[in-house]
Structure 1
């Protein structure tokens, strides 16, 4: 079978579009292939695969009875087609169907048609055949898109088949597990079939009806049917067409049944499968899950303890916790007694399980911080794991740096006082051998620290700032790194001028230059590289920072006055927009108050961190200071310092067109 599959799929056996370009061997192979795969041969192969090889065997039916979990989660993905008969026949069927769909579609549709109407529950051969044909229709769902009206079939046939009452029977040729509930074969196959078609063709209006079906089948006496139903639920909830409001009336009952199923199953693989369904439901309904998670929250610590030897199951628990924390928001603080030790273990590189748990553990750590209403000593203590993680500088670096940012937003003072010294050392080591993109990620953390806490941030990251200063003066070649350097310089100059002054003194000594001369070099480079800065927020910050040097009687600042004004006018062009009510120009970056956004059902509510960022923005000069007003006041102060004549001479150093634009922006003030 694998040989036939390879022949069917082999591109070397297909002629090129332009026959002249084809190799003689390809043309010969194509000829042989065409001669073999005739209409009658393909029809026979299609029928035989479905009616013979797709039938459930006596061994499989015995396994269903004796080991339902093993039967339900039997491996069919990956490379299983290479060495296992059922996946092998299914993959061969799919490949042949895909390549010869015009021939095989009528064959399969005829088989479906022959099995419509009520099934004789006494006829086990017909039951097994229906299971096999429905399997084929599910596998070929995408190929059959135009040929089957699935919505109509669901309403007229499949729904009825899910409602047939339970009988008991003996299968022809099967061992006498006297034994199997006859129609559960079809219930399990039909709910599987719906799962295969849900993303292909299934009308949104029919979803509530499907949720009714899921609710019933999650109470089916047969475990295999319940597990298959849970899998189809995941496919339904995970689908693009999923609408939360349609699902909410069923949420409480279905979630309760999923939780029961999680407790009932005993195998790790099955528990993982059910946990993935639970995670998916929590993720899609978000905060609507809050009233129903009490039992799950109580059960997960027990499951975590039981799964000590099963790291993949623990990964599934971590994923569930991630979605649970996001759904609970600030209420997730009640989980900390369980949650924080889990994060601690998963992210400790000295513990063997971290090999499996680290990635999900970091994600859980991050969402826990983002949803935390306030710092706790225990939450702060976990950060001891971070220095070893930063030493790895692996693919998890981005998440690690997001975690650092989250701590800064959550409680900058507590965090920086406890950990900034070690963090600064880690950053200095990282910056020595890291890509430009990595440098930007690290430097953005420093920028966030300066934004949240200008004084403490500058003090704590003091050892790192000279390298930023050097990069600026030397004209860092990589634009995104230079832009980040200027963002950091802007924060220090604007919000901690005394620190900037002491840094300038320190660097002048290092460069063996006069302070004024070095300041002139910084301003000149800043003006020259302003185009490296693409974010409007950073462009406005640069303008505010350079304007903060005014008023000044320093000859160097006055020499660079023209450049400062050029940057100011550029930034005014970036941020000034016309007020639709008054027709006057206003700074579009100003934020005056914090509004809770109005959300639709499908939108995620803001996290606690989102709220912290909003409140911080209200105090950030970029969002609280009008650039227009600030420029006006600084120029007025410079004029008062120098007198009209001196100020007039200073303004003459600026291009007349720039002066005209500046006056336009400042008129009316």
Structure 2
């Protein structure tokens, strides 16, 4: 930048940057960004926005550019930061008179924020004259300068109050002590002025000016009292301010009536002022409950008047009512005010006094009145609600929360009602029952809309506390005698009651509904789902159906007659819905129905399956809807038991690729549901040839997903397990090999639970029988793991699960190939630079010493078979541990051999042909109606083909003993036998001849 022409160049660039033409604006904005790190740029900006003769748009842009530069470059350690001498000059110029009489309010606001950002870094150490300068400006006789000084000081206090270091908090407390009294006097002065001017009918501009000053000073006081005192009640000024709040609010509410017709801005400004008064009360109560004790009574009386009396409610407005109800709830829930009557002396006297005040004001009669008013006034649907219902029933229905309870009247009213209920349960229950009896005795004319709205509100209240009314309300009787009759009234106004009744059905189905009544409830909900019904009612019925199905007492047999009709009606509603959120919700309900009813839905899904591809394409920009579609497909695949029908195959394969391919952007949102679908698809595939190429192509995503995140390792292992049972050779010759290499790389850094899961997967590789020439393919794939399997992972206390798996894997390797076992020992010894015999002796010692930690009979048997194999290995160290080996084999035989009626012993694991192959198989014993998946069948077949269930351990051991006798000679063999402990030898001879 040329120093001789800086001002003109920057001014011209700002002019161009404020142009509406994008072709002119973009280069200028880029140039301004380049200059942000140039020395001298910010003084030029300051001189431009200080010049009131320049166009206001240009000045505003200069102020915003300066403010953004402060964010990036004012910190002392900021790269390319503003120099200290430049900062010093800027701070001095920012307090110039021209800035404190800024005529344009938008620019004044930007300047106030700008100065506050600098103050957060520099005040008071680097900028000690900032606060005194602003206080002096507030004392001047120039109204505009007073206004701008208050505006700026408000933003400064707001910025400083957010600092959280103890030193910063101490500085803010010192600032509060210095300025609180003066700001309080300003607030009191301008509050009285604007209230008097409103009564006198002064002009709007004058009232607005003074009201703004009162509001700014009030905002300052709110920050100071909440963040600037340790105990506000110990400050005379703070206590005086708090005691004035409710009087000022009452006066302001009276004046608000007089402002109607004086302009929207002035009315909104007055309402904002009133709201900030209540915010002071709420903030103080939240942070300093014991300092607020003297205000508990005024707060409750104030709230009771303006929320629960006709005169007060006439003066109130919605946002103010919400604040008052929030204040009431905060007092009721304040933990400091809840103390045991029996321990008053051990509690803070202020807390005891607050409790007594609450009890004195909130009498039984007052609580009853509050409850009745909340239900019959605040819980009513408003004319705006009904207008939205008429204009857009779907939006009305899907906006179930209707905003947060802190900001919106109806959720706030519900929240306060629940708080009252739990604080005064018996009183509120009696009042609710009284209200319910009243409306049950009075039939409502369909044309009597106020009474219908009243009934809806009472039903809402009863539903909100349904769990607590378990013993008070007989829902079966209520539904049978009244609700079911009201559902049949099809008048337009009665849609309100039908919608609420649907909600009640869903709510009470989880609380207290007899099994006999449930079919009638299902039938009622079906009628409410009819396409002739109002959309909001249909969506409420959809929600209720979801709640009745997702319940512990749900019976699929009871629901079976309704499955077809439900699917048809929900599918029709799904197609009619316009909003993606609505479609997503309906799909979730359909998924739940499929999940809870299993194959009962198989004959009713064809239309849905035809529609889902269209919906998938429609939802390309709505990832949450796509998640719902994937979740629905998961349940449909599980329910149908297959997936490769012409309707499903292209959709499922396309969805899986989209959801599990790391190169697809949407996989971030769809991955978890996509993995669940992938698993379900593999488990439901009946034979390997179905879409084999596509499924193997998908398997190529597994290694990449493992590199990206281990969050879904459990699902990845389940998917790999399914591949191993479905197409082991194709999978391990293809992507499976790379996947196992990734798993091997991760083992060293994995927690023990993860290691156990991976070793279980490795065991599947050894169990799966593969045809020649790939009979050793499973061993080849997991071969890199064997070094870790042999050496172990335990540090400190042994992990029984891991020990069991390691010894099982080593035993299986022994059974498959002794040379490969010896080769694994040799490679392990090379990797850790030790003698192979040392590795083998350590492994033998571990097998003999820790086999007691193995509790599963199947694993104990496989280890026994492995030890039997070693007997004939002709390895010297094996025979050196012959007594320990035979003792362990004997204990294993004691565990698994069974005695028949004739006294003969048989291998119990050979005899028992019903062996659980998976968790689902075990579950089927308790749930015989559960359909066995194709994966379960494959897993059971693999288990029954395993050596555990096909090799008799007694016969196998006998053969090994005979071979050992032949190898060693009779004399040496006899010595070995004599080395066995007599007790073990006696037990061993019960099973084999030795």
Q: By the TM > 0.5 criterion, same fold?
A: yes
* Residue number in structure 2 paired with 1:483: 804
* Residue number in structure 2 paired with 1:541: 862
1:368 partnered with 2:681: yes
1:564 partnered with 2:876: no
Check conservation: 1:476, 1:482, Cα contact below 8 A: no
Check conservation: 2:896, 2:909, Cα contact below 8 A: yes
1:108 partnered with 2:432: yes
Q: Distance in 1 between matches of 2:695 and 2:571?
A: 29
Aligned residue among 636, 639, 653 for 1:340:
653
Greater alpha carbon shift after TM alignment, 416-425 vs 189-198 = 416-425
Q: Distance in 1 between matches of 2:825 and 2:946?
A: 24
Q: Distance in 1 between matches of 2:743 and 2:570?
A: 45
Cα 1:591–1:264 shift into 2, 3 Å? farther
Superposed CA offset, 1:308-333 (max 9, x none): 00011111111101100101113556
Cα 1:493–1:120 shift into 2, 3 Å? same
1:588 partnered with 2:905: no
Instruction: Measure how far apart 1:2 and its partner are.
Output: 2.0
* Residue number in structure 2 paired with 1:137: 462
Q: Distance in 1 between matches of 2:417 and 2:911?
A: 61
* Residue number in structure 1 paired with 2:668: 355
Check conservation: 1:347, 1:354, Cα contact below 8 A: yes
Q: Distance in 2 between matches of 1:652 and 1:665?
A: 17
Superposed CA offset, 1:525-569 (max 9, x none): 221222343433222211111112233544322212222212212
Aligned residue among 808, 818, 828 for 1:507:
828
Cα 1:294–1:655 shift into 2, 3 Å? same
1:158 partnered with 2:483: yes
Aligned residue among 313, 332, 341 for 1:8:
332
1:663 partnered with 2:989: yes
1:57 partnered with 2:389: no
* Residue number in structure 2 paired with 1:86: 410
Check conservation: 1:504, 1:519, Cα contact below 8 A: yes
Check conservation: 1:440, 1:480, Cα contact below 8 A: yes
* Residue number in structure 1 paired with 2:791: 470
Check conservation: 1:486, 1:542, Cα contact below 8 A: yes
Superposed CA offset, 1:213-236 (max 9, x none): 122111142111111111111111
* Residue number in structure 2 paired with 1:178: none
1:71 partnered with 2:396: yes
Greater alpha carbon shift after TM alignment, 333-342 vs 507-516 = 507-516
* 1:133-212 → structure 2 map (5 Å cutoff): 133-164=458-489, 166-167=490-491, 181-212=492-523
Check conservation: 1:591, 1:617, Cα contact below 8 A: no
- SS of 2:405's equivalent? helix
1:98 partnered with 2:410: no
* Count of residues in Structure 1 that have an aligned counterpart in Structure 2: 652
Aligned residue among 568, 591, 605 for 2:931:
605
Superposed CA offset, 1:363-402 (max 9, x none): 1111111111233110110111111211134321111121
Q: Distance in 2 between matches of 1:642 and 1:394?
A: 52
Check conservation: 2:658, 2:664, Cα contact below 8 A: yes
Q: Looking at both structures, which has the greater relative contact order when contacts are Cα pairs under 8 Å and sequence separation is at least 6?
A: 1
Q: Distance in 2 between matches of 1:269 and 1:448?
A: 43
Q: Distance in 2 between matches of 1:511 and 1:270?
A: 61
Check conservation: 2:699, 2:736, Cα contact below 8 A: no
Cα 1:315–1:111 shift into 2, 3 Å? same
* Residue number in structure 2 paired with 1:625: 951
* Residue number in structure 2 paired with 1:654: 980
Instruction: Measure how far apart 1:496 and its partner are.
Output: 3.0
Q: Distance in 2 between matches of 1:13 and 1:625?
A: 73
Superposed CA offset, 1:166-209 (max 9, x none): 23xxxxxxxxxxxxx11111111111111110010000111111
Cα 1:589–1:24 shift into 2, 3 Å? farther
Check conservation: 1:475, 1:525, Cα contact below 8 A: no
- SS of 1:142's equivalent? helix
Check conservation: 1:569, 1:658, Cα contact below 8 A: yes
Check conservation: 1:472, 1:482, Cα contact below 8 A: no
Q: CA RMSD in A?
A: 2.6
Q: Taking structure 2 as the reference length, what is the TM-score of the superposition?
A: 0.63
Greater alpha carbon shift after TM alignment, 353-362 vs 115-124 = 115-124
- SS of 1:202's equivalent? coil
Listed as ranges, the gaps of 5+ residues in structure 1 are 168-180
Greater alpha carbon shift after TM alignment, 190-199 vs 520-529 = 520-529
* Residue number in structure 1 paired with 2:699: 383
Q: Distance in 2 between matches of 1:562 and 1:190?
A: 77
Cα 1:602–1:111 shift into 2, 3 Å? farther
Check conservation: 1:594, 1:615, Cα contact below 8 A: no
Check conservation: 1:591, 1:624, Cα contact below 8 A: no
Instruction: Measure how far apart 1:516 and its partner are.
Output: 4.8
Cα 1:392–1:572 shift into 2, 3 Å? farther
Q: Distance in 2 between matches of 1:151 and 1:530?
A: 59
Q: Distance in 2 between matches of 1:23 and 1:569?
A: 72
Instruction: Measure how far apart 1:473 and its partner are.
Output: 11
Cα 1:292–1:559 shift into 2, 3 Å? same
Greater alpha carbon shift after TM alignment, 32-41 vs 589-598 = 589-598
Instruction: Measure how far apart 1:631 and its partner are.
Output: 2.6
- SS of 2:870's equivalent? coil
Check conservation: 2:368, 2:428, Cα contact below 8 A: yes
Check conservation: 1:406, 1:609, Cα contact below 8 A: yes
Instruction: Measure how far apart 1:593 and its partner are.
Output: 5.5
Cα 1:7–1:577 shift into 2, 3 Å? farther
Check conservation: 1:191, 1:228, Cα contact below 8 A: yes
* Residue number in structure 2 paired with 1:239: 551
Q: Distance in 1 between matches of 2:630 and 2:888?
A: 49
Aligned residue among 297, 305, 308 for 2:620:
308
Q: Distance in 2 between matches of 1:22 and 1:536?
A: 61
Check conservation: 2:643, 2:649, Cα contact below 8 A: no
- SS of 1:116's equivalent? helix
* Residue number in structure 1 paired with 2:896: 575
Aligned residue among 823, 838, 845 for 1:524:
845
Instruction: Measure how far apart 1:475 and its partner are.
Output: 10
* Residue number in structure 2 paired with 1:30: 355
Cα 1:438–1:113 shift into 2, 3 Å? same
Instruction: Measure how far apart 1:656 and its partner are.
Output: 1.5
Greater alpha carbon shift after TM alignment, 153-162 vs 446-455 = 446-455
Q: Distance in 2 between matches of 1:583 and 1:292?
A: 57
- SS of 1:529's equivalent? helix
Greater alpha carbon shift after TM alignment, 423-432 vs 209-218 = 423-432
Q: Distance in 2 between matches of 1:82 and 1:570?
A: 68
* Residue number in structure 2 paired with 1:172: none
* Residue number in structure 2 paired with 1:174: none
Instruction: Measure how far apart 1:641 and its partner are.
Output: 4.1
Greater alpha carbon shift after TM alignment, 546-555 vs 506-515 = 506-515
Greater alpha carbon shift after TM alignment, 272-281 vs 385-394 = 385-394
Listed as ranges, the gaps of 5+ residues in structure 2 are 1-324, 770-774
Superposed CA offset, 1:80-131 (max 9, x none): 2222221111122112112211001111111111111532222111111111
